[in-house]
Amino acid sequence: MAKTVLIVDDDPTQRRLMQAVCERAGYHVCQAENGQKAIDFMRSDSGRGVSVMMLDLHMPEMDGLEVLETLRGFAPDLPVIVLTAQGGVETVVKAMQAGAADFFVKPASPERVIVSINNVLNVTTLKGEVSRLKRKAENSMAFSDVIGESDALKRCIRMGERAAASNIPILITGESGTGKEMMARAIEGSSDRAGKPFVTVNCGAIPDNLVESILFGHEKGAFTGAVGKHAGKFQEANGGTIFLDEVGELPLEAQVKLLRVLQEGEVDPVGAKKTVKIDVRVISATNRNLAEEVKNGTFREDLYYRLNVFPVEIPPLRQRREDIPALIDHFIARYNAEEGRDVQGVRHEVMDVLQAQDWPGNIRQLENTIFRAVVLCEDAWLSASDFPLLQDAFEAAGVESGPPLAADAPPQAPEAPAATARNAPEAEEEDRVSVLDREGHLRSLYDIERDLIAMAIEMYNGQMSEVARRLGIGRSTLYRKVQEQGLEVRRAS
């Protein structure tokens, strides 16, 4: 998903120049002609999607420094790049003290502009990752940490939000790698137990003879090797939440004790003379069909009904393919920051292939694939050659490795137009987009652009990747223009 840049400048020419540079680099662009409009935009719902602001310091009425001061009050984490025609040290110091992340003197080269945007976005990503890890350590993650906007994921999140409002036992089901632990942490972080202990247990990784000791604890001398008293995972989680991952792997003997913990709210440590009262919320997860396990006699029926009070099913990635671009952008940004890389994104024809994959390992497999690609990438954009394990899929789709396409290429200095309005009528008659109206006057740029996009969509049968490639713009920019201009996209059968 392309990032959005808000350009704030009272000079319309500067705004248009900056917009052209940013859009050619694949960013969405919004504009504000003065400081007050920029503040109003950032306070609106649309302002939530802005990733970085490019701000002119010298503007009438409300200058850049006042904008920075105002932003501190409601958007302190928004990175701001200051544009100024006066590069004095005092001006720069004031801007940086007011919260600017970077600055450059106008006019600046396209390369300088994009490097600045990329740098502040990488720093923001790194800060976000540190914040996420801090929330994870403090057991205060929320549903906003879950990435994706698909209907399937939204339904899952709504179920999780309802579950977080009570202490009801929850069973999270889903294939391996779908993010069951992430959902469990979001549920706890959104409940009244946020910030309390969150103890994870991988039930499939515990040896059968140690399950009871690890889960429920033991007394000193309870068995050979018990040289000291051990509290157990349930007592560690007292007051908070215990997450029993792959609960279907528990042996039957441990299932009996787990049932008692759920029913009575107390644990019976191995070798102890009396039970220990606990206050623990149980969230369990499995990639197995526990109903089938009950039929096969490998899972207790009474425990199944006790755990499965509030089921939450996480859909596999192949059922929410529209979330893949956002996940890929997230992983690229994370590994750019962690590995010191500067990958701009994924070439659009490569993204089409990635979205078409089934991803049997789900999000975990996708993350590892993108991590490997970022490390292998030698250009600004991930290409087919950066995905060695998917070469068969790329060959089947007719995607070859090579230099970035026009729609993906980094910005270049603007070139002089090849033709003017005077010689436009001399174009070939079959050109269906006219530059002049019936009276011989220039048509508006909006109308020309709309007709050109409509013609391209019809010419290439609604294949949006090909349309974007031919027009020399990014797919995200193309989709935005199609939506803004009310165009209809149809593919012939």
Mean pLDDT, rounded, for 144-168: 93
Structure tokens at 359: 């991803």
Rg (CA), the chain: 28
Segment 58-80 mean pLDDT? 88
Q: Give the model confidence (pLDDT) of 77-97 as tens digits.
A: 899 999 887 766 777 788 888
Query: Is the predicted pLDDT of residue 477 greater than 60, yes or no?
Result: yes
Place of tokens 């149809």: 490
- Band the pLDDT of 416: cuts 50, 70, 90: very low
User: How far is 359 from 318, CA to CA, in rounded Å?
Assistant: 7
Higher pLDDT, 387 or 23: 387
Residues whose CB falls within 8 Å of the CB of residue 171, separated by 6 or more in sequence, listed in order: 247, 284, 285, 286, 290, 307, 308, 309, 310, 311, 312
Task: Supply the pLDDT for residue 431.
Answer: 45
Contact 50, 42 (CB under 8 A): yes
The rounded distance, in Å, linking the Cα atoms of 256 and 184 is 24
| Sheet order of strands, 102-105 included | 28-32, 4-8, 50-56, 80-84, 102-105
Per-residue pLDDT for 402 more than 60? no
Q: 403 pLDDT exceeds 80? A: no
> CA dihedral in degrees (442, 447, 449, 453; nearest 10)?
-140
Residue 319 confidence class, pLDDT cut points 50, 70, 90? very high
Contact by Cβ (8 Å): 175, 316: yes
Residue 491 in tokens: 């593919």
Q: Is the pLDDT of residue 419 over 50?
A: no
CA distances (Å), origin 290, targets 149, 209, 247, 250: 29, 23, 9, 12
Band of residue 227 on the pLDDT scale cut at 50, 70, 90: confident
Quote the pLDDT of residue 399: 81
Q: Which domains does the chain carry?
A: 4-135 (3.40.50.2300), 143-315 (3.40.50.300), 320-396 (1.10.8.60), 424-484 (1.10.10.60)
Please, is 106 exposed, middle or buried when counting C-beta atoms within 10 Å of its C-beta (0-12, 13-18, 19+)? middle
- Give me the chain's average pLDDT, please: 84
Tell me, what's the pLDDT at 277? 92
Q: What is the pLDDT of residue 440?
A: 62
pLDDT at 414 over 60: no
> How would residue 306 be classed by pLDDT, with cut points 50, 70 and 90?
very high
Verdict on whether the full-model pTM lies above 0.75: no
**Which pLDDT tens digit goes with each residue over 331-373?**
998 888 788 887 878 888 899 999 999 999 999 999 999 999 9
**H or E segment to which residue 464 belongs:** helix 464-471
- Residue 415: band (very low, low, confident or very high) from pLDDT cuts 50, 70, 90: very low
Alpha helices in 33-102 (DSSP H): 35-43, 64-74, 89-97
| E strand or H helix that includes residue 313 | strand 310-313
Which residue reads 């052209």 in tokens? 20
- C-alpha distance across the termini of the chain, in Å: 29
Q: Is 267 helix (H, G, I), strand (E, B) or coil?
A: strand
Q: Please report which residue ranges of 344-462 form alpha helices under DSSP H.
A: 348-356, 362-376, 391-396, 445-459
pLDDT at 406: 41
- 2, pLDDT greater than 90: no
Q: What is the pLDDT of residues 110-133, one digit of tens each?
A: 888 888 888 888 788 877 778 878
- Residue 128: predicted pLDDT: 79
Q: By C-alpha distance, which of 420, 431, 380 is closest to 404?
A: 380
If one compares 449 and 298, the residue with the highest pLDDT of the two is 298
